[in-house]
Structure 1
Amino acid sequence: MNSITLLCFCFTSFFFTSLAVDTISANHTIGDGETIVSSGERFELGFFSPGNSTRRYLGIWYNKISKGKVVWVANREIPITDKSGVLKFDERGALILAIQNGSVIWSSNTSSHAQNPVAQLLDSGNLVVRNENDRRTENFVWQSFEHPGNTFLPGMKVGRLASGLDVIISSWKSNDDPSQGPYTFEIDGKGLELVVRQNSVLKSRSGPWNGVGFSGLPLLKPDPFLSYAFVFNDKEAYLTYDINSSIALTLVFDQDGVLERLAWIDRLNNWIVYSSAPGDNCDNYALCGAYGRCTIGNSPACGCLNRFLPKNQSEWARADWSSGCVRRTPLNCQNGDGFIKYYNIKLPDSKIRAMNKSMTTEECRVKCLNNCSCMAYTNSDIRGNGSGCILWFGDLVDIRQYTEDGQDLYIRMASSEIEKKENNTEEQWSMKSQDESLDLPHFDLTAIAIATSNFSFNNLLGQGGFGPVYKGAFKGGHDIAVKRLSKESRQGLDEFMNEVKCIAKLQHRNLVKLLGYCIEHEEKILIYEYMPNKSLDSYIFDQIRSKLLDWPKRFHIINGVSRGLLYLHQDSRLRIIHRDLKLSNILLDNDMNPKISDFGMARSFGGNETEAITRRVVGTYGYMSPEYAIDGLFSIKSDVFSFGVLVLEIVSGKRNWGFTHPKHELNLLGHVWKLYKEGRSLELIDELKVESCYVPEVLRSIHVGLLCVQHSPEHRPSMSTVVLMLEGNGLLPQPNEPGFFTERKLIEENMKDLSSTNEVTITVLDGR
């Protein structure tokens, strides 16, 4: 997911004495406020009132963990209005909940009954009814795990059971009302996938099980904490999971229809959400229509698959993608069709889908090829070399593009669209026509290889998160910089295409110019104008080369970066948030003019959009704003924070992340803040720049830097205001304390916690 989210539950009111029992027998009763049932270490059962409600319910909650985290409710549809509720066995051996007038408002309602019934709360959180003398595992007359509410506990089975029972997770209506809300989380046994429905209407789906996971649900993948299993055969199809650690982990289906993975953190004394699904707009069912592909990071998110075109261009221009896409070359089954392989996607939905677990990949291909109604095929099990077969008949909808973790799909195409790669038994495809709408030159891979002496080590300029960067020269002596996506890169196709689309049409003297791109076979390459003086960090943090940057040059660079960032935020055709502004992403031309580079993590907004929340935090420690690093909230003000850090690093010649001082353990922001409050800001300037500095400019730059790194985003100035302040226009307001300025050890501890509890948060450590 996303950034770490602290989950602040409304406190639930519990009323009971210290008397606790571990089982309920036929001659026992549990009254409201009298006794609780305890599983031992983990769970308790008793009466409670949710949120701000005064209504009473019988439920199960975590023992020794506060915040009112209830995991099961018996009478969720019929609350008790007073404290007269009693839990007991009736004469048939069924567990019942009755009120003062004797009315039964809930019952285990079992078809078979125990002669000597005992109710026991297991340490798994499962309330079971069994025969008193029968302690065989799972030989229960009734169990709450087969009748859940909004919580999917470890060991629970969700889906169709061998008994014929369908186990479904359903949302609460609100924090105050545990009755069934409009959303359900269930198993589609026919499609072998997980689905979310709202009032029975499909809202989101996971894609079918492939032996390892679900191609459209990264939440449910094996990890060090949880192990999942999806069991399906002729009698049953269910999902279950177990915990591989002693920490409290669970899945909760919230009132908005989102399945959240929660963990209890003792140090924080709170629950955190560290992944969730559905996670973003691309999880909305069939958002982009038939043969449309949804890609988070693109603007707009919907686009047609390669070799497809919008069915209704005017509707697509109005951001209505429901009509979907059509093949640019119609199929002609009689004259021969073929298949094109699409990589890393969420497997689609269609009206008809068939599966055969015994077929080979080749048998699957032939089966689909010989049926003119078959539109796509792939393996049903991706383990090993792949096996089994899934066939799709009819239009393909609900396709999503991933950088990784998706699945490969073979889609039927006219033979004229297929470009086969020779000498390979498995078809591979050139991607030269990746996106004809880019209005940017596509360079031939051979020409790039020649220009870089076949990516020679002698041409290597550096190595970044994207991959290696090479110097090249086309015929005629035009120098270029070639960024080549490496297989080990933490970035991928999403970030690559995002960078191309973000800056293809941007023109500003303080932005690096993209000359073209290449997508061919497995290669993804960007071609930029060559910057002979490399990146700013190679000067600022180098004891020798830093002497080449006197104060006038540094102030010139600060102003140039501010104007480039202003263009991105305000003056470009789309509002663009860079999200990874740092010294190593500022390149210097022949005249030491700064140019902002590396737009792989950028996001573009249209209209009046100013901020968004991401479930995938990217960037560099030391430059990320607090609201982005912790909550995933990014806006133009998160870029402003990064700019403020950059300014203070340029002035001081010191890194923010890793800064040390003999008299305290503050980071650079804290050190600057301390000097500012004590009226000693000029001590930030090292001896090499003293003679060249203009004191008012230095003090103003420090002041502006502190304004930009204020903890609260609403207190930070916009870049238009920053540009004016740097030009010396007007008095400057007093800054508030910076974000992330505390002692370095505390910051490192916090960052460690963030990284360890959020499996899909990406944090890019700056390895300069």
Structure 2
Amino acid sequence: MNESKNGWNLAYTAPRDSCDNYAQCGPNGICRISKIPVCKCLKGFTPRSQQDWDLQDWSGGSIRTRPLNCQNRDGFVKVGANFPDMLQFQLNTSMSLNECQTQCSKSCSCTAYATPLISDGVSGCLMWFGDLIDIREPPGADSNINIDIHLPVSELESINDLDKKKKRPTKLIFILTTVGVLISGLILGGTLLKIRLTRQGEVQNTEDLELPLFDLATLSAATVNFSSENMIGEGGFGPVYLGNLSDGQGIAVKRLSKTSRQGLEEFKNEVNLIAKLQHRNLVRLLGCCTQGEERMLIYEFMQNKSLDNFIFDQDRRTILSWPKRFDIIMGIARGLLYLHHDSRLKIIHRDLKTSNILLDENLNPKISDFGLARIVGGDQGTARTKRVIGTYGYMAPEYAFDGKFCVKSDVFSMGVVLLEIVSGKKNRGFSHMNHSHNLLEHAWLLWKEDKALELMDECLKDSFVECQVKRCIHVGLLCVQKYTEDRPVMSSVLFMLGSEEGANLPDPKEPGFFMGGSSSNEETSKADPNTNTVTVTDLEAR
């Protein structure tokens, strides 16, 4: 691995594996990091292209071996796996396990079902429709996470016959077969590798890919010498410029400001964290520049800039109808769920806000700015810091006051973002003619008075779906509850957002009123207007 002149390594070093890559095995494939090959079709499915599959190109995924009957003559096979991405799903909290299975078996478009635990003692019927994306086999054989795949009876009989045959071999046959498979696997693996390298024309070590380095001259030419006309934004890290490479590709160049409170540590952190994150709702990092004193990050360009440029703008907010806002909410939730759950190690963003949600040409959301993000071990509930950095109005109380952070801190920020999207109002700086409460307090008062719809942005009156708006406000208030143990995890947030009308959701408790009674009371800080830094003293790291 090459090291830069500044003495630190730009290679992605966080402990990850190929199954962390989004949709590694394509539609209806399952990723098994401890197996060879790593990808396998789900039971009842076969590779869409056997030729690509033989070359270990799994992106095309798998298709059904036999079509569903859908006339009560279908069945299900249980697969130990994490829940697929919530692209097309339906949640009903009032259905029993048997009712869930019956409902799914009646629909040819229902691909699988599961019974997730929504909250203490409350489960439900979760059904997926269409292709199953981003499935991973959980580590260990004792996992209690299962999904039931919808298959025709003829396919189930084939699977059962195959399972019976697998149990017949004697110990000697089993040993000989195992040795033979290993030898054949080594020979076949070497042959396939040679074919693949010949096809690609070069050797690629995908596990040790380094982040591409851009030279200063290329970026200077792309941004017209970092002209003010090309500056499209500015945050705690520094200014962001629009650039165009020689091949016509649009890029966004984030340049570390010499006066920024974020520095080398945040720069390295963002490089290491986001370099290999692959999800449709996370912004893609293309490379970086460390030439001389420069510290720059190069991203894919998002044509519509950030979410706050729409929902808080008097004219552009009308572009985001309620269906589009709901799609954006669901996209943000999926991206955050990927960070918290679908990566092998939990990633806590720590600065989720509307200005860090970028929108592509189709107004699809992508979470950005990972300079403050942190990796915590899967068994680590809460971490602590003496240096609290984030944005007032989005910080969870435990983080702002005590420097404690966990996935539930991001959930709090998600709740603020959700309520801002629904209302079109900022939490920090919110004003009302009848009181001086912030947006969270205002939403809470309306909820208690059964006037939740009054929170909705008035420009949505011709496009809103009442049950969806109320559910989003309900879930938003659950996310911003004062105590971490009361807030749901992101998987539950996504389930609740997609649940049917009338679903039995828990009642929210009082939100965290950490900003004080008056929204006009600005906190004292020397940080830039977008990102605030607070030093918490006399704290011990955990």
TM tier, smaller: 0.5 to 0.7
CA deviation after TM superposition for structure 1 residue 437, in Å: 6.1
Q: Are residue 546 (structure 1) and residue 295 (structure 2) matched?
A: no
Question: Does the Cα contact within 8 Å between 1:482 and 1:525 map onto a contact in 2?
Answer: yes
1:442 aligned partner, one-letter code: L
Residue number among 517, 520, 530 corresponding to 1:744 in the alignment: 517
Give CA-to-partner distance per residue, 1:616-674, whole Å, 9 cap, x none.
00100000000000000000000000000000000000010111111111110000000
CA deviation after TM superposition for structure 1 residue 753, in Å: 10
Structure 1 SS opposite 2:433: coil
CA distance in 2 between counterparts of 1:569 and 1:596 reads 13
2:262 alignment counterpart: 491
Residue number among 506, 509, 518 corresponding to 1:733 in the alignment: 506
Q: Are residue 445 (structure 1) and residue 445 (structure 2) matched?
A: no
1:733 aligned partner, one-letter code: P
Identity %: 60
2:433 alignment counterpart: 662
CA deviation after TM superposition for structure 1 residue 706, in Å: 0.1
Residue number among 678, 691, 704 corresponding to 2:475 in the alignment: 704
Question: Does the Cα contact within 8 Å between 1:667 and 1:741 map onto a contact in 2?
Answer: no
Give CA-to-partner distance per residue, 1:124-176, whole Å, 9 cap, x none.
xxxxxxxxxxxxxxxxxxxxxxxxxxxxxxxxxxxxxxxxxxxxxxxxxxxxx
Return the index of the structure with the highest Cα Rg: 1
1:734 aligned partner, one-letter code: D
CA distance in 2 between counterparts of 1:760 and 1:671 reads 26
CA distance in 1 between counterparts of 2:378 and 2:482 reads 27
Structure 2 SS opposite 1:497: helix
CA deviation after TM superposition for structure 1 residue 460, in Å: 1.1
Higher share of residues assigned helix: 2
Give CA-to-partner distance per residue, 1:524-567, whole Å, 9 cap, x none.
11000000000000111110111111101111100000000000
Distance 1:474 1:698, change over 3 A: same
Q: Are residue 479 (structure 1) and residue 250 (structure 2) matched?
A: yes
1:664 aligned partner, one-letter code: H
CA distance in 1 between counterparts of 2:480 and 2:321 reads 24
TM-score, with length taken from structure 2: 0.58
Higher share of residues assigned strand: 1
CA distance in 2 between counterparts of 1:625 and 1:607 reads 21
2:303 alignment counterpart: 532
Distance 1:497 1:595, change over 3 A: same
CA deviation after TM superposition for structure 1 residue 476, in Å: 1.6
1:579 alignment counterpart: 350
Structure 2 SS opposite 1:523: coil
2:287 aligned partner, one-letter code: G
CA deviation after TM superposition for structure 1 residue 607, in Å: 3.5
Distance 1:760 1:512, change over 3 A: closer
Structure 1 SS opposite 2:534: coil
1:728 aligned partner, one-letter code: S
Question: Does the Cα contact within 8 Å between 1:576 and 1:605 map onto a contact in 2?
Answer: yes
Question: Does the Cα contact within 8 Å between 1:670 and 1:741 map onto a contact in 2?
Answer: no
Residue number among 609, 614, 622 corresponding to 2:393 in the alignment: 622
CA distance in 2 between counterparts of 1:706 and 1:656 reads 13
Aligned residues: 331
Question: Does the Cα contact within 8 Å between 2:335 and 2:367 map onto a contact in 1?
Answer: yes
Residue number among 683, 690, 712 corresponding to 2:461 in the alignment: 690
Give CA-to-partner distance per residue, 1:563-611, whole Å, 9 cap, x none.
0000000112431100000000000000000000000000012342232
Structure 1 SS opposite 2:518: helix
Structure 2 SS opposite 1:476: coil
Q: Are residue 604 (structure 1) and residue 379 (structure 2) matched?
A: no
1:528 aligned partner, one-letter code: Y
CA distance in 2 between counterparts of 1:452 and 1:601 reads 26
CA deviation after TM superposition for structure 1 residue 455, in Å: 1.1
CA distance in 2 between counterparts of 1:467 and 1:500 reads 16
Q: Are residue 714 (structure 1) and residue 498 (structure 2) matched?
A: no
CA deviation after TM superposition for structure 1 residue 748, in Å: 3.9
Question: Does the Cα contact within 8 Å between 1:670 and 1:742 map onto a contact in 2?
Answer: no
1:272 alignment counterpart: none
Structure 2 unmatched ranges of 5 or more: 1-6, 16-206, 537-542
TM-align CA RMSD: 2.6
Residue number among 341, 357, 364 corresponding to 1:570 in the alignment: 341
Structure 1 SS opposite 2:288: strand
CA deviation after TM superposition for structure 1 residue 741, in Å: 6.5
Structure 1 SS opposite 2:366: strand
1:535 aligned partner, one-letter code: S
2:505 aligned partner, one-letter code: L
CA distance in 1 between counterparts of 2:455 and 2:533 reads 38
Identify which of structures 1 and 2 has the higher relative contact order when contacts are C-alpha pairs closer than 8 Å and 6+ apart: 2
Distance 1:519 1:455, change over 3 A: same
CA distance in 1 between counterparts of 2:14 and 2:251 reads 28
CA distance in 1 between counterparts of 2:347 and 2:451 reads 36
Q: Are residue 558 (structure 1) and residue 348 (structure 2) matched?
A: no
Question: Does the Cα contact within 8 Å between 1:669 and 1:741 map onto a contact in 2?
Answer: no
TM-score, with length taken from structure 1: 0.41
CA distance in 1 between counterparts of 2:330 and 2:302 reads 19
Question: Does the Cα contact within 8 Å between 1:441 and 1:517 map onto a contact in 2?
Answer: yes
Structure 2 SS opposite 1:461: strand
CA deviation after TM superposition for structure 1 residue 743, in Å: 5.0
